[in-house]
Homo-oligomer: A and B are copies of this chain.
């Protein structure tokens, strides 16, 4: 595997590894200080601190025992130091805000990464749930 492909793949894999270790300090370090993140319900966080703090809260509550699996990564290079990494994911073991266990769900995550110095970081993430059998949001 090409060295840059390997480096970008490692960062994307680390997204899931930090999630599954519920280590939000390490999770936050994957992002650039000015990164943006839009989650599956359209919460739009600006900056590493906001991304880390939001995930710290959810990993103490609804995602505390959740497990994220990434699959089917598509990788493209719009510029030498910019990568688009899109993967399908499956989330298991999450709960509603009242603690009720929820069924496994799937989605698609886009990460945009940039190499600054010798390190690739996520500069943007947008996440979308997969709702099977629909063309657009159901009524």
What residues make up the interface of A, taking CB atoms closer than 8 Å to B?
Answer: 36, 38-44, 57-58, 62-63, 74, 76, 78-82, 84, 86, 94, 96-97, 100, 102, 105-108, 110, 112, 114, 123-124, 126-131, 134-139
Contacts and interface: CB of A to CB of B under 8 A. Distances in A.
Contacts of A126: 86, 108, 110, 126, 128
Nearest to A44: B108
A128 B129 CA distance: 8
B40 A128 contact: yes
Q: Which of A41, A76, A106 counts the most chain B CB atoms within 10 A?
A: A41
A86 to B, nearest CB: 7
Contacts of A82: 78-79, 82
A49 B52 CA distance: 38
Contact of A128 (B36, B38, B79, B96): B38
A135 B79 contact: no
6 contacts: A38-B110, A62-B135, A82-B82, A86-B124, A97-B135, A110-B126
A105 B42 contact: no
Contact of A41 (B39, B80, B137): B137
A86 B46 CA distance: 12
Nearest to A130: B42
